[in-house]
Amino acid sequence: MPQVRGARLEAAVLSATLAELADTGYAAFTMEGAARRAGVHKTTVYRRWADRETLISAALVANVAVSVPTPDTGSFEGDLRALASDLVAWLTSPVGGAVVRVMLTEAGRLPGVAAVKHALYEDRFARAGVVVGRAVERGEVGSSVSAPAVLRALVAPFYLRMLVTGEPLDEGVVEAAVAVVVCAVRAGVL
Amino acid sequence: MPQVRGARLEAAVLSATLAELADTGYAAFTMEGAARRAGVHKTTVYRRWADRETLISAALVANVAVSVPTPDTGSFEGDLRALASDLVAWLTSPVGGAVVRVMLTEAGRLPGVAAVKHALYEDRFARAGVVVGRAVERGEVGSSVSAPAVLRALVAPFYLRMLVTGEPLDEGVVEAAVAVVVCAVRAGVL
DNA sequence: CCGCTATCGCAACTGGGAGTTGCAATGCCT
DNA sequence: AGGCATTGCAACTCCCAGTTGCGATAGCGG
């Protein structure tokens, strides 16, 4: 068993941390468990990350999806579908699911995590603004449509299923959400 | 300082447990902290509840809103508004907010809590079924409307704000949610 | 009013995980 | 091969979960 060190070790520990979080949850997470899973000694973990919260924050921050391209399918409905599909794919992926779940529950109290959350939302709302703006230019929707309201209405059902009811997420849910948003926008209630 | 015992003590400990959960969160919750807040010794807590999880489950179960009357305002929109307002009032109350937050995050793994959650959802869906059924009888909506879909669409925005974005919950949010649902039902997409 | 008993407070204990320290071992770069 | 940074390891303190035995007390019936 060759001793691993440096960047490979760091990546192994962060990955083990995420796996451990997914398995046991935030409350039952232990530094020793993560170290053991990474095949590394506890002291080594503490040399790179000050404490439990710092390690967990780092693992989450390293795994949030960064800038993906803003969809441009040529139609408002197509763009909404693309946005929704991307989010559902992320939420249903093993890593994404674990990251979001932990980030939105106990770890949301950690300042580093809160900052990343905020930046992520800024990005998402900006993206929705671009999509809505193009739809307005095309004359598909009125100029009074609120982009944040559209985004909230679009994603709310996914988080409800994931965090509250525990119901599964599939393409049918995406279609339903898109249909509701399109209908609400046409009726002028968003 | 007179020694408290019996039923009053039990109530004090459960209340302190909820307060402690709201303050520190599930992960940082300690039996000694809850006991101290209740003005009671740690041993006494362990005599009534086997362990940490049992105590937390008991505190949550004792504080979930039990059967409230199903609204019957005479109109579909009025009933939806009543359902939504009740939920928002519960979510924004100190006790309700804490209970829901803890129940939907880490404590959801506890079997006793999961059972209560399930029962609560059954009740909510049944209530929504009654409201939709009456609207169908009145001819306000088509008979193909899905009551679970209506309920999900109605409540999703509240949980999104509470658990994901952290945005405030007020009557404006209720109105917006009701408007979207009414519009979607009329368009036949729910 | 007094004693009986269930209940509570308290101190002391084990066990495990957080976080720290000093030292020996090992990998990597020159 | 030598030097240096990094890792492994053992030993420590501290805090909280959970347990035990005993002394104190409240509220009960007589």
Residue A161 pLDDT more than 70? Answer: yes
Assess if residue B69 is contained within a domain: no
- C-alpha to C-alpha distance for A130 and A134, rounded to whole angstroms: 6
Match 């529950």 to its residue by tokens. Answer: A105
Q: What is the mean pLDDT of residues A34-39?
A: 96
In this structure, the answer to whether residues A21 and A100 fall within a common structural domain is no
In this structure, the answer to whether residues B87 and B34 fall within a common structural domain is no
In this structure, the answer to whether residues A53 and A92 fall within a common structural domain is no
In this structure, the answer to whether residues B172 and B84 fall within a common structural domain is yes
In this structure, the answer to whether residues B80 and B163 fall within a common structural domain is yes
Assess if residue B104 is contained within a domain: yes
Protein-contacted positions of strand C (CB under 7 Å): 7-12, 17-22, 26-28
In this structure, the answer to whether residues B180 and B87 fall within a common structural domain is yes
CA→C1' distance for B31 and D24 (Å): 23
What share of chain A in percent tops pLDDT 90?
92
Distances (CA, A) of B116 to A159, B57, B109: 20, 9, 12
Query: What number of residues does chain A have?
Result: 190
In this structure, the answer to whether residues B113 and B182 fall within a common structural domain is yes
- C-alpha to C-alpha distance for A36 and B61, rounded to whole angstroms: 36
Q: What is the mean pLDDT of residues B104-121?
A: 92
Query: Of B33, B61, B89, which marks where a domain is finished?
Result: B61
pLDDT digits (tens, 9 = 90+) for B123-178: 999 999 999 999 999 999 999 999 999 999 999 999 999 999 999 999 999 999 99
- B172 vs A: CB within 8 A: no
Q: How confident is the model at residue A58 (pLDDT cuts 50, 70, 90)?
A: very high
pTM: 0.94
In this structure, the answer to whether residues B88 and B157 fall within a common structural domain is yes
**Domain count for chain A:** 2
3-state secondary structure of B30: coil
The confidence score (pLDDT) of residue A47 equals 97
Q: How confident is the model at residue A32 (pLDDT cuts 50, 70, 90)?
A: very high
Residue A67 pLDDT more than 80? Answer: no
The average confidence (pLDDT) of chain A is 94
In this structure, the answer to whether residues B54 and B83 fall within a common structural domain is no
- C-alpha to C-alpha distance for B5 and B43, rounded to whole angstroms: 13
The average confidence (pLDDT) of chain B is 94
Q: How confident is the model at residue A105 (pLDDT cuts 50, 70, 90)?
A: confident
CATH code at A11?
1.10.10.60
Assess if residue B1 is contained within a domain: no
The confidence score (pLDDT) of residue B3 equals 72
Q: How confident is the model at residue B2 (pLDDT cuts 50, 70, 90)?
A: low
Assess if residue A85 is contained within a domain: yes
Assess if residue B35 is contained within a domain: yes
| Residue ranges making up the domain that contains A52 | 7-61
- C-alpha to C-alpha distance for B28 and B143, rounded to whole angstroms: 49
In this structure, the answer to whether residues B56 and B82 fall within a common structural domain is no
Q: Tokens standing for B122?
A: 């059954």
In this structure, the answer to whether residues B37 and B91 fall within a common structural domain is no
CA→C1' distance for B2 and C1 (Å): 22
In this structure, the answer to whether residues B35 and B126 fall within a common structural domain is no
Give yes or no for CB of A47 within 7 Å of strand D: yes
